[in-house]
Structure 1
Amino acid sequence: MSFKDVLIALTTYPQPTPPSAVDDAVDLAAALGPKVSAIACEVKINVPGSLLGRRFLNVPGMIAGEAKKSATHAQQLLAAFQAAAEKSGVFQERILEQCLTSEVPEVLVEYSRLRDLTIVPMPERDYLDQWYAESVIFGSGRPTVIVPHERKRSGSFALDTVIVAWDFSRAATRAMADAMPILEKAKRVCVLTVTKEKAIDTRRSGAELAKHLARHGADVVLDEVDAKGRSIGDVFEAHVTYRNADLLVMGAYGHSRLREFVLGGATKSMLTRPPSPIFMSH
């Protein structure tokens, strides 16, 4: 199995995905080998406002101006994506949608369900982009790669070192299985098990996973790291730096409550401040 059909989700409002992040997303997709499409939504802003506000602040004019800004960003982003994808030989399709700001997550989820993988460029500590990413991760049923806007490494994306965060859970197992096409391509796969953070109730864990991955041709290294009182997110971030990893593979933990996502500690930390591209499955 390999990824054949990948989607990049681009943000148009209020702050557009920067051109450098578009290039990074295309670069990552090209390293995986498939054809890639991108989607951007022209958003319509729906602000009820008071009659007084509409009279003195020209709310309709302000809304129209913001919608025009989003439409301009959408065209610019899709053009930048197409140029980068054609240069890398991976261009497939550009998709332009129109919807309310509140409908963007639903649109992204619907398109993501029809793709092998969705790539979401994301800045640090941005609520809106995190909301979009969470929606795709937990709603699409397909794997998602989060690509930080501020890239920590220079040069083209490579699959030299991939870390698999492993705790023998269902979510970690799903992520590992979904990422298998990547793990088979990687030069080295580091299986990271964090100790003294939570109990792993089995003896058939890291070593058995290493055997399984080796049967897929992966060169596996077992890394067992003591949490030493640190949060799981801090351990992951430190290990990505230590191994100079190109990608972190991990299960996404969370559930929806009153249309808001209640995230596990590691998932929340990685989405808030991704230290590298992160492959997530739920």
Structure 2
Amino acid sequence: MSFKTVLAMIGNTEPTADLARAMEIATELEAHLSVAVIGLAVPANMGDYPAGTVWLDQRDEDLRLLDGIEKQAARACETNGLSFDVDVIYAEGVFVSEEIHRRALYADVVVIGDGVRSDPVLTRRIVDGGVFEARRPLLLTPKDRKTTLKPRRMLLAWNSRAEAAQAAREALDMMIWAEEVHVVLVDPDSSYWVSGGEPGADIAAYLARHGVEVVVEQLASGGRPVEEVLQRHALEIDADLIVMGAYGHSRLRERIFGGVTASILRESRFPVLIAR
């Protein structure tokens, strides 16, 4: 596989479980695991007065907690014989995104688990820095289901947009290796200028030229959310992984009104690879 550096984002919620999922991925790929233990710092009081003792005490407590998680992660990686490095990122909002961006530039995939995803603010910073700025794929690793980057059967969520095409290219090596890839379109736009003569046919032909075994499926949502349709169908076909593009609309619109990607980030109980 082409993923040789795995960047795992670990927060202060369920760090052991999130780290375990990341170590499983790195072990499977025989990849280097770079662990970033992340904490969002509370901004200091603005104005003419220095930060109060409450703020300083909170900062010291946060740093002690993150330092403990860093040491725990290093011990676990060493015990499991992994090639690894561990670092702490502790900064205010936008600066966290910048640090994640810098680290993600030298990784092949960014991994987050349920612990990180339980914090929507932290998740947004990771998406901003890792997916939008560094343009790295993001892997969601739910604790209740095995996650693999050597999937036997895959589901590619397709809508004939650039984001979906980029996701397909990021996952191409996996698709070639897989036994079967289901290209799934939910309520597809059948107009020629959007999806060609037959929705899904163009991407199926592209993948087939690379030796991918492709099945094209057009599904009706029946009024259900698209993310629900995708996850339910992934279970029906016994898929190991969903691959999808990030954010079909503008980032601002997604953040205010939600959307398929936002819902997947928040609620998916299924392994998902997201790219843009």
Give TM-score, length-normalised by structure 2.
0.82
What is the correspondence of 1:1-282 to structure 2 with a 5 Å cutoff? 2-11=2-11, 13=12, 15=13, 17-41=14-38, 45-48=42-45, 54=52, 58-84=54-80, 86=81, 91-102=82-93, 103-123=95-115, 125-135=118-128, 136-148=130-142, 150-153=143-146, 159-195=151-187, 200-253=194-247, 254-257=249-252, 261=255, 265-282=259-276
Deviates most, 182-191 or 167-176: 182-191
Could you list the per-position Cα deviations for residues 241-261 of structure 1 after superposition, in whole angstroms to 9, with x for gaps in the alignment? 212221110000154449x94
Q: 1:211 to 1:59 in 2, by over 3 A?
A: closer
Could you list the per-position Cα deviations for residues 183-224 of structure 1 after superposition, in whole angstroms to 9, with x for gaps in the alignment? 122222111111268965422542332232223222222222
Task: State the percentage of identical aligned residues.
Answer: 22
Indicate if the aligned counterparts of 1:142 and 1:281 stay in contact, CA closer than 8 A.
Answer: yes
C-alpha distance in structure 2 between counterparts of 1:165 and 1:185, whole Å: 18
Compare the two structures and name the one with the higher strand fraction: 1
Task: Give the aligned residue type for 2:141.
Answer: V
Could you list the per-position Cα deviations for residues 79-109 of structure 1 after superposition, in whole angstroms to 9, with x for gaps in the alignment? 324434x2xxxx3331314532423222111
Offset of residue 169 of structure 1? 0.8
For residue 83 of structure 2, give the secondary structure of its aligned residue in structure 1: strand
For residue 152 of structure 1, give the secondary structure of its aligned residue in structure 2: coil
Could you list the per-position Cα deviations for residues 24-81 of structure 1 after superposition, in whole angstroms to 9, with x for gaps in the alignment? 2222333345333222246654442998x947xx443343223211221222133324
Indicate if the aligned counterparts of 1:40 and 1:78 stay in contact, CA closer than 8 A.
Answer: no
Q: 1:128 to 1:276 in 2, by over 3 A?
A: same
C-alpha distance in structure 1 between counterparts of 2:28 and 2:177, whole Å: 9
Offset of residue 2 of structure 1? 2.0
Question: RMSD across aligned C-alpha pairs, in angstroms?
Answer: 3.1
Task: Give the aligned residue type for 1:18.
Answer: P
Q: What stretches of structure 1 of length at least 5 have no aligned partner?
A: none
Q: 1:263 to 1:78 in 2, by over 3 A?
A: farther
Q: What stretches of structure 2 of length at least 5 have no aligned partner?
A: none
C-alpha distance in structure 2 between counterparts of 1:40 and 1:167, whole Å: 35
